A = this chain, B = another copy of it.
């Protein structure tokens, strides 16, 4: 009986800078967690050994043996072959065809599930977060890039083959911006934090009288994704134009996804979501006006994510609990 109470999943959020490792119970509460530096330039074998040993120590320090660990879930950036637990390619950590699950099993001999990190975050919001109780949800993370996660019937839909659910890589704008993926005018090239920061830098340089220039302390390299919003809400015309353009691009992408998936809810993650309703209110208005069949059909609501920095750990642990049920 004690053993059953002790049971937990390990959820791992593998990022370019840090690896967050958590013990997660069946209610998706985090019992304990630890963070280590990825130090991504190391050989992947070292990183995986570090993760495995740290997770084993975390279990031990929290009075769990490996038998108490029902499985390990890992969210990784990049293109994942979840069936074989492999990272096919990740630009962030510079991995190519790494057999992550097999290698980690040497340190943690339990079932191991590997998924794209945005997919994990999406699942995390469904099991415990903004989309709790929803069967169908779309998740977009607005960060360095635009990551996507699709939940259908309560489970991650990753596409028929690796390379699916790349929701940041649908056509959005029309300015001829080259996306990091090589294609022109992807949503990511307009709606990522990176894109917003670059647009804000350009605007500040062109309009030194604007509040943008003031708020970055007259140093373009100090520009961040919050400044254009701060300027806009303070009434600065440059800031307002930037935010309007940003929200329109994002709204167009979300409308596409609503017309394809017609989910219960659309959840936005990433630092930009700190804007809360100032971001979601105009997005929801756009959807109500532009979704297909808007007078006779269900229009999904756009909300911000709730799991914050814990999204990766919770979502990765959810892979384990879902895997056990199957």
Contact = CB atoms under 8 A, between A and B. Distances in A.
Interface in A243-268: 252-253, 255-264
Interface string A27-67: 00000000000000000000000000000000000000000
A135 interface: yes
Contacts of A89: 293, 296
Nearest to A151: B160
Contacts of A166: 259-260, 292-293
Interface residues of A, number: 49
Contacts of A170: 170-171, 256, 259-260
A148 B161 CA distance: 20
A325 interface: no
Contact of A298 (B135, B152, B161, B255): B161
A152 B152 CA distance: 11
A324 interface: no
Contacts of A261: 159-160, 164
Interface of A: 79, 88-89, 96, 135-136, 148, 150, 152, 157, 159-167, 169-174, 181-183, 252-253, 255-264, 290-294, 296-298, 300
12 contacts: A79-B293, A159-B260, A161-B264, A162-B293, A162-B297, A166-B292, A167-B259, A169-B259, A169-B292, A170-B259, A171-B171, A171-B253
